Structures are given as structure tokens and as C-alpha cells.
């Protein structure tokens, strides 16, 4: 194995860990919080099965391209210099502070800065669409459902059916997220994987995912837990389904990669703002501060990501 090949796999390993640690909680955070009483390995087997199916399906139907075409404008550098491992390393450090950084901007922009504009437009549009969708949806359902969820604990009979509904909605959301974010993870590997490369990559991803479930989500999970009633499996089901539908729309729109972090934060912001207002008939300063802080975090992550890309390129002499 030559140096460039070693950097490629080290970069993939670090990207897998940093993307899984930072982004997976956007998708599985409500699933983890509302199923906290279950053994972690049961939840892992469910998520791991969907990950395996989505990855193998993409590899099969796309001729070895597991990114579902989203890396078509991001060619694999040859040779791959040592500085390519810096973006996921930096992402690992930022994630430890619970800051929801966009891995799409930090990693993919490094591979091709020219595509930053299109990715930025799609990501900001995703935030806006998720926010508006959540506002409209929760104006309708807060009185009908969410108020009842808050005031009435779920019964054992209800829990059985809502558990089935949530696992289906989470499975749908998880598959849509993977199709979007495989591009961030597999940016370091050849655009068409061999069977052996696919097997090795899958083993690494499953190992990372198992660790996330074992550690109950890590620091990013605090963003989910801070929102109203997200530990209720009924509320979690609605969040997951809405998020999945928004990602499905953007998946079908075009193959430009986007930041799912922005979509996730937009959805939670619209939900929290609307729910609190519908329940209390006033805009809480605490809620506005919380939503504003989340937005500042993702904006800070965006600015840092773009700045680091150009700094690392300068450092590496690119």
C-alpha cells in the first residue's frame, strides 16, 4: 500500500467517525431518546440493517457508486496528500463541543471548492423549507395531537402501535439521510468500489454506528433533548416522518450534495417555535434564544468549515 492509498483509507476512517458522530444524531436522535429504555444493540441492529441494505443497493444499481451520483463532480485526487485527513480531524474536535457542523461543507468543499455555491443554495433552501413545513404542520397538529401528547402520557396499548409507526418512519428517514450523506463519507474512496472495498467500508461504518448507539448519541444529542417532548415516541414519529419527506424531496430534486444539518436544525426550530406559541399563546424569550443559538451554531460551523477548507489548502500548497 503506497502513501496516497494509506491517506485515502485513513481519511475514510476519520470521515466515517466524524460524520457518524456529528450527523447521525440528526436522524436517529429522536429514535434514541424515545427508545432509551431498549438495549442499545437492539436499536443498532435495526439501524445497521438499513445502512447495509441502502449501501449495497446503491453499489449494485449504480455500478459500484455508493454515493448515488452525488460525487460525480468531486473527482478523487491523485495523489492524495497528507493534508486531506485534516478536515475530518478538525470535525472530530468541533463535534466534541456539541456544535452541529455541516460535514458537507467541511469535507466536500475541500475536494471541489467550485461547487460551494450550488451546495450552499440547496442547504439554505433546505433550512427554509424545513422551517416553513414545521410551522405549517405544527399549527395544525399541536391542538389536535401534540397538546394531548404533552398532557397525557402514552398508554401501553398506544405505545405498541406508535412503536411500529416510529420504527417505520425512522427507517424511511434513515435511508433518505444515508443517500444524501454517503457522499460525505465516501469522498475519500474510489468512485466505483470493488466488492472487497465495499466490504471493508461497510465493516468500518457498522463499527462506528455501534459505538454511537453504545454511547447514547454523544454531545450532539443535547440539541434534540432540549426540544419540547422529543422523548415521547408519538412526537418523535412525527418529527422523523416530516424530516424524511423533506430529504426525499431534495433527493429527487437533483444530485447536488446538501447539508442535512441545516435541514434538521430548520425543522426543529419551526417545530419548537410553533408548538410553544400554540401551547402558551406567546413567544418565549427562552425559546427564541434557543432557536437563535442553534442557528448561530450551524452558521458558525459553516463559516469555520469554509475558512478551514481554504486554510488547509494553503497549508498543503494546493
CA–CA distance, 174 with 32 (Å, rounded to integer)? 13
Q: What is the pTM of this model?
A: 0.78
For residues 18 and 90, give the distance between their C-alpha atoms in angstroms, rounded to a whole number. 9
Interaxial angle between packed helices 86-95 and 285-316, expressed in degrees from 0 to 180 and rounded to the nearest 10: 160
Q: What is the Cα–Cα distance from 22 to 217, expressed in whole angstroms?
A: 9
CB 161: neighbour CB atoms within 10 A? 10
- Give me 164's grid cell: 411500529
Instruction: Give 268: exposed, middle or buried? Use CB within 10 Å, 0-12, 13-18, 19+.
Output: buried
Matching residue, cell 456539541: 98
Cell 389536535 -> residue? 144
Q: Record the cell numbers describing residue 77, joined without a space.
A: 485526487
Q: CA-CA distance, 213 to 221, in Å (whole number)?
A: 11
Q: Positive or negative CA dihedral for 55, 60, 61, 66?
A: positive
pLDDT at 98: 60
Inter-CA distances, 66 with 21, 61, 198, Å = 20, 9, 9
Query: Directed axis angle between helix 233-253 and helix 116-141, to 10°?
Result: 140
The predicted pLDDT at position 100 comes to 60
What is the reported pLDDT for 217? 57
| Backbone dihedral region for residue 194 (phi beyond 0: left; psi -120 to 50: alpha; all else: beta) | beta
For 214-243, what is each residue's pLDDT tens digit? 876 554 445 554 554 555 677 778 878 888
Residue ranges, the chain, pLDDT below 50: 219-221, 225, 228
Amino acid at each position: 500500500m503506497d502513501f496516497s492509498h494509506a491517506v485515502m483509507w485513513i481519511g475514510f476512517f476519520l470521515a466515517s467517525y466524524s460524520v457518524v458522530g456529528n450527523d447521525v444524531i440528526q436522524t436517529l436522535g429522536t429514535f434514541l431518546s424515545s427508545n432509551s429504555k431498549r438495549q442499545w444493540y437492539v436499536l443498532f441492529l435495526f439501524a445497521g440493517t438499513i445502512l447495509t441494505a441502502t449501501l449495497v443497493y446503491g453499489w449494485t444499481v449504480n455500478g459500484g457508486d455508493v454515493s448515488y451520483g452525488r460525487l460525480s463532480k468531486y473527482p478523487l485526487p491523485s495523489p492524495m496528500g497528507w493534508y486531506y485527513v485534516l478536515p475530518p480531524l478538525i470535525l472530530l474536535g468541533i463535534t466534541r463541543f456539541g456544535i452541529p457542523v455541516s460535514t458537507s461543507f467541511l469535507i466536500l468543499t475541500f475536494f471541489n471548492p467550485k461547487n460551494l455555491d450550488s451546495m450552499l443554495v440547496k442547504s439554505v433552501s433546505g433550512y427554509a423549507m424545513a422551517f416553513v413545513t414545521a410551522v405549517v404542520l405544527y399549527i395544525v397538529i399541536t391542538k389536535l395531537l401534540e397538546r394531548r401528547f404533552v398532557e397525557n402520557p402514552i398508554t401501553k396499548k398506544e405505545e405498541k402501535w406508535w412503536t411500529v409507526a416510529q420504527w417505520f418512519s425512522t427507517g424511511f428517514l434513515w435511508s433518505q439521510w444515508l443517500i444524501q450523506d454517503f457522499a460525505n463519507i465516501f469522498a475519500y474512496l474510489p468512485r466505483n468500489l470493488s466488492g472487497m472495498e465495499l466490504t471493508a467500508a461497510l465493516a468500518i461504518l457498522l463499527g462506528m454506528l455501534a459505538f454511537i448507539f453504545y454511547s447514547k448519541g454523544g454531545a450532539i444529542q443535547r440539541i434534540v433533548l432540549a426540544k419540547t417532548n422529543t422523548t415521547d415516541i408519538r412526537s418523535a414519529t412525527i418529527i422523523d416522518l416530516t424530516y424524511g419527506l423533506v430529504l426525499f424531496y431534495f433527493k429527487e430534486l437533483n444530485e447536488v450534495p446538501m447539508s442535512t444539518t441545516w435541514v434538521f436544525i430548520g425543522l426543529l426550530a419551526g417545530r419548537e417555535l410553533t408548538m410553544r406559541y400554540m401551547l402558551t399563546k406567546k413567544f418565549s424569550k427562552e425559546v427564541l434564544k434557543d432557536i437563535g443559538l442553534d442557528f448561530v451554531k450551524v452558521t458558525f460551523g459553516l463559516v469555520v468549515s469554509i475558512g478551514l477548507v481554504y486554510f488547509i489548502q494553503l497549508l498543503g500548497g494546493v
